[in-house]
Structure 1
Amino acid sequence: MEEQQLIRLSKRMSKALRHDPARLGLTLDPAGWVPVADLLRALGVTRADLDEVVENNNKKRFAFDASGSRIRASQGHSVPVDLGLVPVPPPVVLYHGTVAAALESIKAEGLRPMNRHHVHLSATRDTAVAVGARRGKPVILVIQAARMAAEGHEFYISANGVWLTDHVPPGYLTG
């Protein structure tokens, strides 16, 4: 499959598995899983196409269960799901890529999940740069994650390595 086809299918899968499953007649279970057969039918693609997207998606957004018969998005849902994530100690700092237009709001309110379940953070500055660059010239914020955790904030890590937390108050941000 060509790269543009992979990207288009990945975006359709994101919409179906993270934001609007009902639009395609899908129902996610409470943990976000959907039978692979149902997704294939809804998207009109082959299992080989689906496997290629899961394997080659640069952000590893999707995962199969141990049996390979169910699939879900690893994080980023705007629909109710419980991914079963458990709190884990974060590194000393984490990063968030954004753009200058968002800074005033972030400085006032901190980082909020917006229409998602959690704020998404990166373990590396390079990843944050790539995330921020999707919307323009990136601005990288440094999150004092260990201090946040020591002061009672919980962190999670998704199956694809994205760090998640409920909110990052402004006092924990630099950059």
Structure 2
Amino acid sequence: MSMDGWAAITDVLRVLQLTRERLGVAVRENDKRRLQVDGERIRACQGLRAGRRTHVHLAAAKDSRVGRRTSVEVLLGVDPGNLAVYRAPNGVLLTREVPPDAIVGSDAVH
């Protein structure tokens, strides 16, 4: 992945074990337009920063309902080692930002 968040689509497909068609569906059906494709590369438009919100929402486990909005998702494993993580009263885990070096894995959920 480049410093500005771009990754080769072929790498993303291989790591997530997705077909190009399935990735295309995920990009098209994302109602918030969070994924950007430019030729043979892809990136998350908003990244893992809070943006206009105060915090990034994290899920404690793969089967959590936090953030579930589509049928195709990419789960990122995050090492909270140096992150300040807070638990909101509703159980959601919150942090201000997830730097790239805190991402320790990924998985596709269909």
C-alpha distance after superposition, 1:110-135 (max 9, x if no partner)? 5111221100001111116x624x14
Q: What is the alpha-carbon distance in structure 1 between the residues aligned to residue 88 and residue 67 of structure 2? A: 16
Indicate the residue corresponding to 2:95 in structure 1.
Answer: 165
Q: CA deviation at 1:105?
A: 3.1
Indicate the residue corresponding to 2:43 in structure 1.
Answer: 104
More helix per residue: 1
Q: CA deviation at 1:154?
A: 1.2
C-alpha distance after superposition, 1:42-61 (max 9, x if no partner)? xxxxxxxxxxxxxxxxxxxx
Mapping for residues 3-18 of structure 1, pairs under 5 Å: none
Identity %: 32
Q: Does 1:138 align with 2:79?
A: no
Q: Does 1:120 align with 2:57?
A: yes
Contact 2:57 2:67 in 1 (8 A): no
Q: What is the alpha-carbon distance in structure 1 between the residues aligned to residue 60 and residue 44 of structure 2? A: 23
Contact 1:110 1:167 in 2 (8 A): no
More strand per residue: 2
Contact 1:119 1:164 in 2 (8 A): yes
The count of corresponding residues between Structure 1 and Structure 2 is 68
Q: CA deviation at 1:136?
A: 4.3
Q: What is the alpha-carbon distance in structure 2 between the residues aligned to residue 135 and residue 113 of structure 1? A: 20
Quote the RMSD (CA, aligned, Å): 2.6
Mapping for residues 72-83 of structure 1, pairs under 5 Å: none
Q: What is the alpha-carbon distance in structure 1 between the residues aligned to residue 76 and residue 96 of structure 2? A: 17
Q: Higher relative contact order by CA 8 Å / sep ≥ 6: 1 or 2? A: 2
Letter in 2 for 1:111: L
Indicate the residue corresponding to 1:155 in structure 2.
Answer: 85
Q: What is the alpha-carbon distance in structure 2 between the residues aligned to residue 116 and residue 122 of structure 1? A: 17
Mapping for residues 5-44 of structure 1, pairs under 5 Å: none
Secondary structure of 1:171's match?
helix
Contact 1:156 1:164 in 2 (8 A): yes
